[in-house]
């Protein structure tokens, strides 16, 4: 198999009656509120019709289409149809504000978009891209995309053909576009399908409940491809809903679930109920579960929670899915025969076992980049900087036990990981420094018991500007006009100055004492409630 579509076509031909896509019922969601399910055969008919429309309109290799379809199952159908003709998707983050969306549309060089009704205005305000509206009443056979502005490349789709452009925050102010090809998708999905242990996928028997967004690697590429390769069903809730989580798992007959670190503590806060075990879930797959909560969660709900590590750039992942499993630690698995890892110092040399260092990874064999992202769009310098000495530098600080088990320690990159979203500290800093009352700013990650990490902003006021809570909330409101809500600081501290080197380079590590919790600093103000209010207003 050379493409995602070829894998899907083969499974659909062999198992047309098997369920492929499921949307749980959800009142007020705006689409498929009564729930819906498609078999592989039914999905194949829809994909065939969409692919015919894209092909007739002139789409093919070299074209990207924005999919502003949130977690609607139609997103997967359009991805497969575009893949069939050799075009790629550029999935939109629905939380983007106007400026963020404008950057995404311009940088991706997409030629058209397919959108749910409530995303139309944002797309049209941010650019002049032709947009086709998609509703529950849309008929794949009647789909008519606008012709692209330039001809497709005359090349048959293959393993090296672009399948998706996924955006991930890096250490620079603007998100980077990771070019994902079919080889990446088949490699990452294939690893999930075959890794075994607690994550064993039984062919044609699994129903994978994944609330993660389809504009991410896990939800949008790896899990759909793994489901396809094993003739299994992908269940797509629109997002995490604590109030109906266990009811949804039972109603959809889920046998597996994906999670973020924010999900287990929320579920544990609910009082014990018969619903806790009224499910068929065999495992949970995710990252960031609090170690002190891990064993208690498994004991209460009867679900092995398997911690994994992966990045958009790597596609493949490591998983602590084989015995002995290690709850109560941040263990995330061992290097794999096809996906190698070592813990390295700044020069790239391997450090002794048990010593902290940077996780660096590569593919086994003659091509260390096989199965990885092809590169950052329009940024070859950043691509090469990420690869040094034949290894990809992840920016994550880890340790490795003598037996090879790896443990997450912290992130070395200027990135904050909040509820599964990568947030560029530099991007937040650029938004905050634009406020007239701010002279200097430093943004960093702090621990958060619910969301893994939260955004913490250290602000130095401009000359004569106020430095109190009201001023901090004003800065937050200012930034809310420029950043998606999840990027806003949840904590703010006004400071007299920030430490810098002799060349005026900011020294974030020197702002607080080593090991100190910035949240405990007397200057720190908890603005998470104000941040939540801004989210509610935005939605």
User: By the 8 A CB rule, do 475 and 458 touch?
Assistant: no
Check pLDDT > 50 for residue 503: no
Query: How far are the Cα atoms of 62, 71, 325, 352 from residue 342, in angstroms, in the given order?
Result: 36, 35, 21, 10
517 occurs within a structural domain: yes
The CATH number given to whatever domain includes residue 179 is: 3.40.50.12780
**Which residue, of 296, 312, 338, is where some domain finishes?**
296
* 3-class SS of residue 538: helix
Higher pLDDT residue, 422 or 343? 343
Residue 106, strand partner residues:
none
**What integer pLDDT is reported at residue 172 of this predicted model?**
52
Sign of the dihedral defined by the CA atoms of residues 135, 137, 140, 143, in that order: negative
Alpha-carbon distance of 441 to 460, in angstroms, equals 6
Over range 219-226, report the average pLDDT.
Answer: 98
Q: Quickly list H helices, 289-394.
A: 291-301, 380-386
Same domain, yes or no: 292 and 420: no
The burial of 315, by beta-carbon neighbours within 10 Å (0-12 exposed, 13-18 middle, 19 or more buried), is given as buried
Element (H, E) at 308: strand 305-310
Match 């969660």 to its residue by tokens.
297
Over range 476-505, report the average pLDDT.
Answer: 85
Same domain, yes or no: 58 and 204: yes
Same domain, yes or no: 284 and 427: no
Same domain, yes or no: 126 and 271: yes
The CATH number given to whatever domain includes residue 500 is: 3.30.300.30
Give me the domain span that covers residue 204. Answer: 4-296
Q: What is the pLDDT of residues 96-133, one digit of tens each?
A: 989 899 999 999 999 999 999 999 999 999 999 999 99
The number of distinct structural domains making up the chain is 2
Q: What is the pLDDT of residues 72-99, one digit of tens each?
A: 999 999 999 999 999 999 999 998 989 8
User: By the 8 A CB rule, do 288 and 280 touch?
Assistant: no
**Which residue, of 244, 262, 296, is where some domain finishes?**
296
Q: Quickly state the pLDDT bin for 488 (edges 50, 70, 90).
A: very high
Q: What is the pLDDT of residues 34-46, one digit of tens each?
A: 999 999 999 999 9
502 occurs within a structural domain: yes
**What integer pLDDT is reported at residue 173 of this predicted model?**
61
Tokens matching residue 221: 């590429």
Q: What is the mean pLDDT of the chain?
A: 93
89 occurs within a structural domain: yes
End-to-end CA distance of the chain: 42
Helix-helix angle 74-85:40-57, to 10 degrees: 50
405 occurs within a structural domain: no
In sequence order, the 6+-apart residues with CB closer than 8 A to the CB of 243 are none
Check pLDDT > 90 for residue 451: no
Across the beta sheet with 317-319, the strand order is 36-39, 19-23, 233-235, 207-209, 256-260, 283-287, 305-310, 317-319
Of 296, 228, 226, nearest to 14 (Cα)?
228
In sequence order, the 6+-apart residues with CB closer than 8 A to the CB of 436 are 462, 465
Tokens matching residue 499: 């430490």
346 occurs within a structural domain: no
**What integer pLDDT is reported at residue 228 of this predicted model?**
98
**What integer pLDDT is reported at residue 176 of this predicted model?**
92
20 occurs within a structural domain: yes
Check pLDDT > 80 for residue 505: no
**Which residue, of 270, 296, 322, is where some domain finishes?**
296
* 3-class SS of residue 439: strand
Got the DSSP string for 209-243?
E--S-TTSHIIIIIHHHHHHHTT-EEE--SS--GG
């Amino acid at each position: 198999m050379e493409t995602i579509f070829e894998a899907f076509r083969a499974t659909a031909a062999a198992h047309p009656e098997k369920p492929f896509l499921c949307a749980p019922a959800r009142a007020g969601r705006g689409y498929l509120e009564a729930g819906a399910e498609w078999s592989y055969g039914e999905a194949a008919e829809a994909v065939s019709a969409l692919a015919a429309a894209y092909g007739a309109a002139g789409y093919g290799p070299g074209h990207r289409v924005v999919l502003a379809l949130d977690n609607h199952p139609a997103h997967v159908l359009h991805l497969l149809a575009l893949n069939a003709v050799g075009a790629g998707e550029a999935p939109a983050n629905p939380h983007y504000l106007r400026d963020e969306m404008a950057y995404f549309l311009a940088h991706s060089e997409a030629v058209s978009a397919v959108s749910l009704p409530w995303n139309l205005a944002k797309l049209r305000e941010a650019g002049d891209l032709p947009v086709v509206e998609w509703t529950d009443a849309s008929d794949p056979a009647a789909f008519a995309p606008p012709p692209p502005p330039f001809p497709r490349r005359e090349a048959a789709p293959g393993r090296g053909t672009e399948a998706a452009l996924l955006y991930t925050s890096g250490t620079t102010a603007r998100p980077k576009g990771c070019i994902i090809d079919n080889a990446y998708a088949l490699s990452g999905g294939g690893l999930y399908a075959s890794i075994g242990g607690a994550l064993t996928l039984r062919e044609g028997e699994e129903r994978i409940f994944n609330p993660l967004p389809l504009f991410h690697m896990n939800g949008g590429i790896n899990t759909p491809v793994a489901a396809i390769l094993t003739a299994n069903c992908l269940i797509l809730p629109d997002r995490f809903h604590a109030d109906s989580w266990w009811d949804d798992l039972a109603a959809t007959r889920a046998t597996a679930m994906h999670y973020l670190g924010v999900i287990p503590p929320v579920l544990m806060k609910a009082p014990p109920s018969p619903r806790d075990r009224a499910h068929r879930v065999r495992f949970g797959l995710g990252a960031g579960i609090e170690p002190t909560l891990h064993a208690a969660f498994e004991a209460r709900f009867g679900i092995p929670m398997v911690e994994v590590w992966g990045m958009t750039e790597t596609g493949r992942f490591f998983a602590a899915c084989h015995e002995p499993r290690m709850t109560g630690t941040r263990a995330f698995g061992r290097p794999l025969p096809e996906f190698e890892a070592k813990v390295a110092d700044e020069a790239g040399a391997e450090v002794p076992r048990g010593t902290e260092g940077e996780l660096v990874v590569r593919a086994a064999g003659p091509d260390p980049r096989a199965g990885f992202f092809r590169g950052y769009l329009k940024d070859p310098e950043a691509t090469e900087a990420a690869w040094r000495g034949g290894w990809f530098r992840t920016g994550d600080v880890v340790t490795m036990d003598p037996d090879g088990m790896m443990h997450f320690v912290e992130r070395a990159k200027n990135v904050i990981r909040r509820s599964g979203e990568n947030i560029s500290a530099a991007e937040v800093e650029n938004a905050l420094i634009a406020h007239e009352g701010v002279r200097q700013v430093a943004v960093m990650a702090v621990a958060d018991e619910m969301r893994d990490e939260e955004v913490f902003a250290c602000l130095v006021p401009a000359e004569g500007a106020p430095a109190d809570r009201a001023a901090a909330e004003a800065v937050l409101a200012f930034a809310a006009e420029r950043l998606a809500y999840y990027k806003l600081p949840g904590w703010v501290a006004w400071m007299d100055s920030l430490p810098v080197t002799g060349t005026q380079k900011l020294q974030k590590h020197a702002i607080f004492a080593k090991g100190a919790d910035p949240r405990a600093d007397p200057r720190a103000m908890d603005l998470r409630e104000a941040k939540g209010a801004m989210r509610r207003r935005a939605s």
